Amino acid sequence: MDNGLTTHLWQQLWHGLRAASDAVPQVTFHGDAQLCSLYPVTELASTSIALAMQAAADLIGNPHPLEVNTALASRWFQHSFRPINRPAPALWDPFAGDYPTADGWIRLHTNAPHHRAAMESVLGQHADRASLAVAVSQWNKTALEDAVVVAGGCAAEMRSVEAWQQHPQGQAVRREALIEQALQPEGPAPTWRLFPARPLHGVRVLDLTRIIAGPVATRFLAGLGAEVLRLDPPGWEEPSLEEEVTLGKRCARLDLKSAQGRKHFEALLSQADVLVHGYRADALSALGYDAQTRQKLSPGLVDVSLNAWGWTGPWRNRRGFDSLVQMGCGIADSGRQWKQRDAPSPLPVQALDHATGYLMAAAVLEGLRQRLLHNTGYTARLSLARTACLLTDNPYPESEQPQGLGPLKPQDENVEIEITPWGMGYRLRSPVWLPGTPLIWSRAASRLGSANAEWQ
């Protein structure tokens, strides 16, 4: 697959990471199958994964051109692990989903218990979705969105692309860079060896991310050999995703709101090379860890952060997830029109999450390259809403109708069985090939909180 959209997206991503004057590297994209969507989801999957791997190649000076299997790239945006002799976990809470309102549609995100409780504080407790749907139908979509958000929950009304472009938050996001980057004060010279076969061996990555983009980023870094330590607060669980996103990592728990937890966190951060976090815009600052403090605790730190709705504008601190951003920015409505349906029609995968995850990984690798060149620290900020612009700006031509990927093939998966705490299964093969620098994970997926909060 080497259509014009692939080339266009690849150029946009490359120049989003590097200066516009830098020559665009050559990448070969193999395959014709595409995810069925109005938008170039397969092209975004292929080019975002390519960007992360090209950033790794540049870090170590590997001159070989990349090759990307576009079907495998698309499948990694679906799920990378297939359990054997057991069902895959449910991805959604029973009450999560799209509901008609008195004047349109709204999506309620209730996977986390406290988000479900916030929704119920507005709409009441219900025995089933049908009962909840009756309650939702009495509301105006904007009023219900506001009420759930004020209650501490997560919701998004379905807007058109045009409405989002006129919305203050949509306008703010459009003014933001795809990857906002800045060099920070100098730190000590790094001591990494950067072996081509394991480029990030010896690089310590502190992972403060959850569902899904941030964990995808740190999973990729682990595949290049980084020591990734994921920290979650006590009680946080991701039962539908652990086997997917903890591959290659050690997972521990730490309470950043306790004095002992803060002291422990600061010690870990002081020894980290990279921090990846997905808190809302001002959340870490509210805990006393703004960007300047993080650099002081770990001079030369590569600090990459994610937000859902963008870093400027009135929604910069609003909770959000991929499915909500698709509703709010017009993707679900455009899909509805494309499929000639009444109900919202989102992307076939959570492409905003996955693509942004690989862009975050690319930013980390670019930050490590800058550290090697200049001994400086580095910060980068990305958002799901800004990534969404890549799709809404580039729909397929009307004459092009993707037909889907077709069934999974035996050669799409690794031959070896992966054994995890939940059982056995098969992991997809890597979708990208860089001679001499494979993606290999040295640890199987693990349960949250299964390791000690310490560097090895």
Residue 1 has pLDDT above 80, yes or no: no
pLDDT digits (tens, 9 = 90+) for 175-213: 999 999 999 999 999 989 899 999 999 999 999 999 899
Tens of pLDDT, residue by residue over 340-399, are 999 999 999 999 999 999 999 999 999 999 999 999 999 999 999 999 999 999 999 887
Residue among 164, 157, 169 at smallest CA distance from 329 = 164
For residue 89, give the DSSP letter. P
> For residue 131, what are its two tokens?
């009962």
Give the residue from 47, 60, 53, 55 showing the smallest Cα distance to 4.
Answer: 47
CATH number of 3-86+173-310+349-433: 3.40.50.10540
CA-nearest of 28, 33, 32, 31 to 67 is 28
- Number of C-beta neighbours around residue 346 at 10 A: 23
CB 149, CB 155: distance < 8 Å: yes
CA 17 – CA 363 distance, rounded (Å): 7
d(CA 229, CA 253): 10
* pLDDT band at 2; cut points 50, 70, 90: low
Q: In this predicted structure, what is the pLDDT of residue 316?
A: 96
CA 236 to CA 281: how far, in whole Å?
A: 20
Q: pLDDT band at 280, cuts 50/70/90? A: confident
88: DSSP letter: P
Q: 357: left (phi > 0), else alpha (psi -120 to 50), else beta? A: alpha
pLDDT digits (tens, 9 = 90+) for 284-333: 999 999 999 999 999 999 999 999 999 999 999 999 999 999 999 999 99
Nearest-5° angle of CA 147, CA 148, CA 153?
A: 150
Q: How far apart are CA 105 and CA 388, in angstroms?
A: 20
Contacts with 312 (C-beta within 8 Å, 6 or more apart), sequence order? 172, 173, 175, 176
Lookup: tokens for 218:
């740190």
Give the pLDDT of residue 33: 86
Domain boundaries in the chain? 3-86+173-310+349-433
Please give the span between the terminal C-alpha atoms of the chain, in angstroms, as a whole number.
Answer: 42
Q: What is the pLDDT of residues 331-341, one digit of tens each?
A: 999 999 999 99
- Look up residue 278 and give its amino acid: G
Query: Three-state SS for 447?
Result: coil
Average pLDDT over residues 265-275: 97
Across 91-116, average pLDDT: 96
Collapse the DSSP code of 309 into the 3-class scheme (helix H, G, I; strand E, B; otherwise coil) and give the result: coil
Q: Is a pLDDT exceeding 80 seen at residue 112?
A: yes
